[in-house]
Amino acid sequence: MTNIIALLMKRHTNFPASISLSVFLLTIGITSSWQFAQASTPENAPPELKNLLTQIDTAANQGDVKGVIQFYDANFTNGDGLNRQTLEKSLASLWQRYPKLRYNTQLQSWKSEGNAIIAETVTNITGLPSSNNNNLTFNATITSRQRVTGAKILQQDILSERTLLTSGSKPPQVDIKLPQQVKVGQKYNFDAIVQEPLGDDYLLGTALEEPIQADKYLNPTPVDLELLTSGGLFKVGLAPKTPGSQWISAVILRGDGMTMITQRLQVVKK
C-alpha cells in the first residue's frame, strides 16, 4: 500500500474492502463484578464500563492484538462469520498494513438482559497521512451491538459502517448515495459522484458489490479499473434473495489522487 497510486494505474489491483470490517470489532468488554442497573443511557452507565472502553481503545491504539483479544470469549461469534481466531488474524493483518490507526469508541446505549449486557457503540477510526505512505488517510465509522457475559464479549453484530481511504496529493472528493437497508430482491441505486470539475483529467474507477464473509477479511478482492466517461459511478444494484449484509464499494482514481469508499448494505426480509 506504500505506492497505491502506481498500483492502481495498472488498472488492476486488490481492493481491500475488508479492512473496513476488521476495525469495528474493538468495542466493549464488561467486568463480571458490575451490579446491573435498569438505566440504559450512556450518562448512567457504570464507571467500569466507561473505563473499560478507554482500556480497549488504548490497547487498539498501541496495536496490541493480544491486549484486545483478551476481552473476547473463546466461543465468540460475529454476524459476519468471524470467531476469536479469525478476528485475531484480521486485526494483526490490518495493523501490519496500517500501524498507526487511532480508535475512539463511544457508548450509545446499554441494558441488562438476563445475565448478559447488551451494549451499542460507535467506533471512529482514523489514520493520518504521512510522507512515507503517499498521504494515505483512513477514516471509518462503525456502529455495533455487543452481547457480553461475565468479563467477555460473546457475540457481536454490525449495524452500520462506512470507510473512506484516500491517497495522493489531491484525491477526488466523492459523494456516495446508497441506502442503508433494502429488501431481498429489491433494486437500488448506488452513485459515487465526484464533486470537483474534472477539467482535462481522466477518471478510472469501478464499483464492487460482494457478500460479507469471514474469508474476505484476509483475502482482498481483485478488481479492474475502467475509464469513466462521466463524473463518477452510477450503478443499479439488485439485492440478493436471502437476507444478509453486503459490502458496496467504489474506487475512483484521477491523476493526482485516489479515493476508495466502502459502505455496508443490510438486506432484510420483506
Do 156 and 34 fall within a single domain?
Answer: yes
Q: Are residues 95 and 82 in the same domain?
A: yes
Mind listing the pLDDT tens digit for each residue in 227-257?
Answer: 988 889 999 999 999 999 999 999 999 888 9
Same domain (yes/no): 151, 224: no
Amino acid (1-letter code) at residue 180: Q
pLDDT at 193: 93
The verdict on residue 167 lying in a domain is: yes
Same domain for 223 and 102:
no
- 26 versus 197: the higher-pLDDT residue is 197
Whether residues 194 and 219 share a domain: the answer is yes
User: What pLDDT digit, counting tens, does each position of 154-185 carry?
Assistant: 899 999 999 999 999 889 999 999 999 999 99
Quote the pLDDT of residue 22.
35
In a domain, 6, yes or no: no
Task: Assess if residue 2 is contained within a domain.
Answer: no
Total structural domains in the chain? 2
122 lies in the same domain as 25: yes
Which of the pair, 115 or 236, is modelled with greater confidence?
236
The alpha-helical segments, DSSP class H, found in the chain are 4-9, 19-22, 47-61, 65-69, 84-97
Closest CA to 264 of 20, 98, 23: 20
84 and 157 in a single domain? The answer is yes
Which residue, of 107, 139, 161, is where some domain finishes? Answer: 161
| Band of pLDDT at residue 18, cut at 50, 70 and 90 | very low
Task: Compute CA distances 267 → 180, 190, 261, whole Å.
Answer: 9, 15, 19
Q: Are 5 and 253 in contact (CB under 8 A)?
A: yes
Cα distances from 67 to residues 118, 225, 266, in angstroms, run 22, 39, 31
Q: Is the same domain home to 35 and 118?
A: yes
Whether residues 66 and 29 fall in one domain: yes
CB atoms near residue 145 (< 10 Å): 18
CATH for 42: 3.10.450.50
Within this chain, do residues 168 and 261 fall inside the same structural domain, yes or no? yes
Q: Which residues of 68-84 are buried (b: 16+ CB within 10 A; e: fewer)?
A: bbebbbeebbbebebeb
Q: Look at residue 11 and tell me if it is in a domain.
A: no
pLDDT at 186 over 90: yes
List beta partners, residue 153.
72, 148
Beta bridge partners of 164: 139, 261
Amino acid 258: pLDDT: 92
Residues 171 and 250 in one domain: yes
Neighbours of 214 (CB within 10 A): 17
Residue range(s) defining the domain that contains residue 207: 163-268
Q: Around Cβ 229, how many Cβ atoms within 10 Å?
A: 7
Find the CATH number of the domain harbouring 239: 2.60.40.730
The yes-or-no verdict on residue 126 having pLDDT over 50 is: yes
Q: What are the tens digits of pLDDT across the range 192-202?
A: 999 988 777 78
- Final residue of a structural domain among 106, 130, 161: 161
In a domain, 169, yes or no: yes
Mean pLDDT (whole number) for 12-31: 36
